[in-house]
C-alpha cells in the first residue's frame, strides 16, 4: 500500500494532547487524521499517570490490610494471616485498566470522525509526511499540523536502563516480582510517587537526589509532611548526592546491582535488587523529521517555540503538550489540544490560564495551584496567608487523613483579598484541587469562598476554614 491521504488537520501523537485535539477537531467537522506509533492514549495512559495511580491505589489497599493483620487489628477490624503481594496479578489488573481506556480512546476518535493511523510519521516538509504502517506507507498532506509527540524518560548515559536491573518508570510498572530493595535515582515527583507505593508494598527504598531536598519544586512547608512520612517509614534519603554509575554483580538469583554515588566529597555505594532511574523527561523532538518542518526552537533549545495560541514559527503548524514546554503535564496538553482544534475551526481562543494545577500522588498527596506566598512576594505583592490543619477537620479524622500532618494554605492579595494561590498536602487531598483552580480562574475573593456553604462532613470544609483563617476568623482553630 502506498497511498496519499489529504486532510484538514493532521495530529502527530495520540497522547492526552493529541487525541483530545483530534476528537475536538472531528466534533467541529474538520477532516482529521491522527497518527500514533504506539497505542492511543500516550505515555500518560499507557505507561505513566494511569498505571502508576493504579499501582499506588493497590499499595494503599495492601497497607490497610497489613495494618489490620497486626495483633489487635485496627479500627476494631482484624485480618487473620499475613497479606501477600502477587506482582504478576497486580500488573495484570493494572494492564486491564490501561487496555480498557486505550480501547475507549480509539472508540471516541472513531465516534468523532477522526481517522487513527497506527504507524511512525516522518515529515518531509512542513505539512507533508510519510507514515510507515504494518500495511505499507501512507503519504499524508495536511492543511494544518498539530505536533503532539510528547516526551520520553531521560536515560543516564553512564547507567542506561536495561529494564531488568536498572529500570525506568515504565519498568517499575511492569515488575513480575516485588523487589526487596530498590534505589531510586532522582527525588522528583515520579521517583517519590513510585517510592511511596513500593514502600507500602514492603520494599526497602533508598532515594539518591542531587539537590539539597527531595521534591524541590515544592516549598519547604508543603513538602515537610512528605519528608516526615519518608522518615517514619524508614525510606533512606541521600540529598546532595550524585549518581556515578551502576554495575550488576553476582551470579544467578544472587545477582544484585551496585549503585555508586558521590556525597560529602566521597564515594558511597549500595547494593540493591533494582535501581530505578527517574531524573526527568525530555521532549520528543528527534527521529520524525522535525528539522524538515522549519519550526523554531525556544531559547533553551529543548522545546518547540510557540505563542499563546500554540502556533509555531510556521503558518498552520501548531505544537502542544510536553514538546512545547513546561509544565509537562497531561492536563495542560489536553487543554491546549482542545484550544488548537477550535482555533483551526475559526474560533477565537488563546491559552491564558491563571493557573495549571500540579499534583503529586505521594503519601501524603500534594497540590499546588497558583502562587506560593514566596512567589507572590517576589512579584511585589503584599499578601495575607492562612493555613488550616486537616487534624481539625472531622471528615479527615474519620478517613485518618490527618495522620500525615496535612493542611491547606491560602495566599491572597492584602489590598483586595483576591486569592493568588492555594497549596495543600494530605492523604486523599488531590480531589480538592478543582475548587482551588476554579477559585483562581474565576478571580475569587476570600469573601466569595467564605460565603459559600461547604457540605459537612467533607474535607472541602478545610478549604473554607483556611480562607476564614486568612481573614482572621477561622471557626475550628483558634
> For the sheet containing 407-413, what is the strand order?
358-360, 365-370, 419-426, 407-413, 383-389
How many degrees, rounded to 5, is the angle at CA 147 between CA 142 and CA 151?
A: 155
CA 248 remoteness from chain centre? 30
Q: Buried b / exposed e across 177-215, counting CB within 10 Å, b at 16+? A: ebbebbbbbbbbbbbbbbbbbbbbbbbbbbbbbbeeebb
Annotation marks residue 456 as catalytic? yes
Give the angle subtended at the CA of 422 by the CAs of 419 and 426, to the nearest 5°: 155
CA angle 446, 447, 450 (to 5 degrees): 90
Ramachandran angles phi, psi of 201, nearest 5° = -75, -15
- Please tell me which residue in 456, 464, 473, 476 is annotated as part of the active site: 456
What contacts 73, CB < 8 A, 6 or more positions away? 79
Residue 424 · residue 221 · CB < 8 Å: no
Residue 90, all three cell numbers: 497486580
| Vertex 219: Cα angle to 197 and 324 (nearest 5) | 80
- Residues recognised as catalytic: 456
Amino acid at each position: 500500500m502506498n497511498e496519499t491521504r489529504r486532510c484538514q488537520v493532521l495530529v502527530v501523537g495520540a497522547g492526552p494532547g493529541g487525541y483530545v485535539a483530534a476528537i475536538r477537531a472531528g466534533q467541529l467537522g474538520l477532516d482529521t487524521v491522527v497518527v500514533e506509533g504506539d497505542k492511543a492514549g500516550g505515555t500518560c495512559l499507557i505507561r505513566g499517570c494511569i498505571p502508576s495511580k493504579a499501582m499506588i491505589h493497590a499499595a494503599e489497599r495492601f497497607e490497610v490490610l497489613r495494618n489490620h493483620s497486626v495483633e489487635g487489628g485496627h479500627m476494631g477490624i482484624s485480618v487473620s494471616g499475613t497479606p501477600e503481594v502477587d506482582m504478576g496479578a497486580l500488573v495484570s489488573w493494572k494492564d486491564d485498566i490501561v487496555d480498557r481506556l486505550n480501547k475507549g480512546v480509539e472508540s471516541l476518535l472513531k465516534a468523532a470522525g477522526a481517522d487513527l493511523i497506527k504507524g511512525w510519521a516522518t515529515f518531509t516538509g512542513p505539512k507533508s509526511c510519510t507514515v510507515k504502517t504494518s500495511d505499507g506507507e501512507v503519504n499524508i498532506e495536511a492543511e494544518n499540523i498539530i505536533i503532539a509527540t510528547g516526551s520520553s524518560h531521560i536515560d543516564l548515559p553512564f547507567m542506561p536502563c536495561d529494564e531488568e536491573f536498572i529500570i525506568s518508570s515504565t519498568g517499575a510498572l511492569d515488575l513480575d516480582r516485588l523487589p526487596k530493595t530498590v534505589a531510586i535515582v532522582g527525588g522528583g515527583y515520579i521517583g517519590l510517587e513510585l517510592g511511596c507505593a513500593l514502600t507500602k508494598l514492603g520494599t526497602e527504598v533508598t532515594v539518591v537526589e542531587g539537590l539539597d531536598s527531595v521534591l524541590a519544586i515544592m516549598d519547604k512547608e508543603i513538602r515537610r509532611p512528605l519528608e516526615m512520612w519518608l522518615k517514619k517509614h524508614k525510606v533512606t534519603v541521600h540529598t546532595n548526592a550524585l549518581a556515578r554509575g551502576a554495575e550488576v554483580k553476582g551470579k544467578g538469583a544472587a545477582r544484585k546491582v551496585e549503585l555508586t554515588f558521590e556525597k560529602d566529597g566521597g564515594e558511597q555505594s549500595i547494593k540493591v535488587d533494582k535501581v530505578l532511574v527517574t531524573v526527568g523527561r525530555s521532549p520528543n523532538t528527534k527521529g520524525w523529521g522535525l528539522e524538515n518542518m522549519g519550526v523554531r526552537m525556544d531559547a533553551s533549545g529543548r522545546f518547540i517555540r510557540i505563542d499563546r495560541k500554540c502556533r509555531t514559527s510556521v503558518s498552520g503548524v501548531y505544537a502542544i503538550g510536553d514538546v512545547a514546554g513546561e509544565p509537562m503535564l497531561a492536563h495542560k496538553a489536553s487543554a491546549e489540544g482542545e484550544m488548537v482544534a477550535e482555533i483551526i475551526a475559526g474560533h477565537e481562543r488563546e491559552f491564558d490560564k491563571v493557573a495549571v494545577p500540579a499534583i503529586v500522588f505521594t503519601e501524603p498527596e500534594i497540590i499546588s495551584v497558583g502562587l506560593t506566598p514566596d512567589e507572590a512576594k517576589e512579584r511585589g505583592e503584599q499578601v495575607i496567608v492562612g493555613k488550616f490543619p486537616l487534624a481539625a477537620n472531622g471528615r479527615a479524622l474519620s478517613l485518618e487523613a490527618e495522620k500525615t500532618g496535612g493542611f491547606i494554605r491560602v495566599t491572597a492579595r492584602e489590598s483586595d483579598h483576591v486569592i493568588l494561590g492555594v497549596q495543600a498536602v494530605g492523604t486523599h487531598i488531590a480531589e480538592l484541587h478543582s475548587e482551588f483552580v476554579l477559585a483562581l480562574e474565576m478571580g475569587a475573593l476570600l469573601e466569595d469562598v467564605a460565603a459559600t456553604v461547604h457540605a459537612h462532613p467533607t474535607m472541602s470544609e478545610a478549604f473554607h476554614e483556611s480562607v476564614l483563617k486568612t481573614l482572621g476568623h477561622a471557626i475550628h482553630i483558634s
